[in-house]
Amino acid sequence: MYEKPITIKAVIVDPPVIPSDGTATIVVEARNERGWPMKIEVSASEGFVEPTDEWNVFLWHGPRSLRRRSRLFRTPVASRA
């Protein structure tokens, strides 16, 4: 049994101040009890979080960002019968 706790070493948000129509990059550095990198999931109470191709790197889009609006109002594709 391991006695070390799970550790979040850093949460980096760039830029640190984001307008409601902006986008920020979020990087989370976390380690499990063995010291190995841990995969993290991120959620937000406003706007939306989009995963990237990099491990533990996310994009947060503000509630008024064009990216968020295009995702919310995307026309659904009709299924063909």
Determine, yes or no, domain membership for 78.
Answer: no
Q: Long-range CB contacts (< 8 A, 24+ apart) of 66-71? A: 66/21, 67/23
Determine, yes or no, domain membership for 2.
Answer: no
Residue 75 pLDDT exceeds 80 = no
Alpha carbon separation from 67 to 14, 26, 27, 62 (Å, rounded): 17, 16, 20, 9
Average model confidence (pLDDT) across the chain: 82
Cβ neighbours around 27 below 10 Å, total: 16
Determine, yes or no, domain membership for 68.
Answer: yes
51-79 exposure pattern, b = at least 16 Cβ within 10 A, e = fewer: eeeeebebbbbbeebebbeeeeeeeeeee
Determine, yes or no, domain membership for 80.
Answer: no
pLDDT digits (tens, 9 = 90+) for 26-43: 999 999 988 899 988 888
Determine, yes or no, domain membership for 49.
Answer: yes
Name the pTM for this structure.
0.69
User: CA 5: distance to chain centroid?
Assistant: 23
Determine, yes or no, domain membership for 28.
Answer: yes
Query: Count of domains in the chain?
Result: 1
Domain extent at residue 17: 7-72
